[in-house]
Amino acid sequence: MSEARAILAAMREQQPAKPKAPMSPQPASRRPDPVIKVFTSRKLRAAGRSPTRIHTMVSRGTLIAIGRGVYVTKPLATQFADVPHSDHIMKAAAAVVLGGPGCFVSHQSAALVHDIDLLDDQRTHVTLYSRTGRRGIRHGVQRYLASLPASHVTRKFGLPVTTVARTVVDLARTGAFAEGVVAADSALYQGLVAPIELRIVAEECGSRGKAQAVRVVEFASGLAESPLESLARVAFDDQGLPPPELQVEIFGDKGFIGRVDFCWKQYRTIAEVDGALKYADPARARKQLWRDKALRQAGYEVVHFDWREITQQPDQVASSIRAAFRRGRKAS
């Protein structure tokens, strides 16, 4: 065990035991993840199902094809219908079976299995680690060759998959910096991983992409609540703006006004990201206008931007924030 992992284990042992919950009322327990059980054509034939019978079972919907010669039962497919990214996870299950022993779901596909946000979650191919075979994309599967430490692999939905920490670090190593930050922020925000776990795995991975992975891990924040906020943090850094505080509670003369996305207290400036739904609802729009007015009355400058502006015009967003800095300093 590495020194860093020994420290992590000691920290976990030192955590105080959680008090027992009262006997009643009992909160609703979280349902365990469903487990994907697949059937291949070969196994079905070995069990006495002829190709004609298999075809009939698929036609009647008794079996659902999830890959070439790979099936799940209709009840399982129905059970999985509400699981985020269920279609892709089923494809990943088929790819693992067809890939043979030593295959693990990894990279973008592993992020979807763990429900970690991606900059682009519209995956057209499955990503796997494999100990053998050829790297590259073939039959809708992108294969990476590696032999992973046992501590970097877990199981979810019954599938062998890279751990949350390894998944985030792999995305940080192989993609753009912003892609890594979106994934790392999401994993931290959801409580799927601890910062120290990301640092340990980043140090344990190979040299390829390690510098960027370490940078992503150090930059990541569990306070960013959406990919848009994560992208904004990256854009602020690229544009040379000082790092803001996230999710800051603002108070005025009449008490609590609201919690804002980004705040530079020294400049009396607030920045808010506008999602697609913020102004689609007239009631929400009126509430936002009221809040902006209250924030300005409390002595803050307020800047708004949306996805298009922060991704296509980050320099203009930064200019607006710097102008707000100047106004905020004059007012104070």
129: helix, strand or coil: strand
258: helix, strand or coil: strand
Which tokens belong to 102? 């030593």
pTM of this prediction? 0.88
CATH number for the 229-331 domain, one of 3.30.450.20, 3.30.870.10, 3.40.960.10, 3.10.20.30?
A: 3.40.960.10
Q: Give the number of other Cβ atoms within 10 Å of residue 92's Cβ.
A: 30
Q: What pLDDT shows up at residue 78?
A: 94
Where does CATH 3.40.960.10 sit in the chain? 229-331
Q: What pLDDT shows up at residue 12?
A: 52
Q: Find the helix packing angle between 3-14 and 195-204, rounded to 10°.
A: 160
Main-chain phi, psi angles of 13, to 5 degrees: -70, -30
One digit per residue, the tens of pLDDT, for the chain of length 332 reads 565 565 555 545 555 444 433 433 444 456 788 899 999 999 999 999 999 999 999 999 999 999 999 999 999 999 999 999 999 999 999 999 999 888 999 999 999 999 999 998 666 789 999 988 888 888 889 999 988 999 999 999 999 999 999 999 999 999 999 999 999 999 999 999 999 999 999 999 988 999 999 999 999 999 999 999 999 999 999 999 999 999 999 999 989 999 999 999 999 999 999 876 555 677 877 888 899 999 999 999 999 999 999 999 999 999 999 999 999 988 77
Q: Which residues pair with 255 in a beta bridge?
A: 252
Instruction: Spell out a b/e string for 213-223, using b for 16 or more CB atoms within 10 Å of the CB, else e.
Output: bbebbebbbbb
* CA distance linking residue 179 with residue 117, whole number of Å: 9
Q: What pLDDT shows up at residue 280?
A: 63
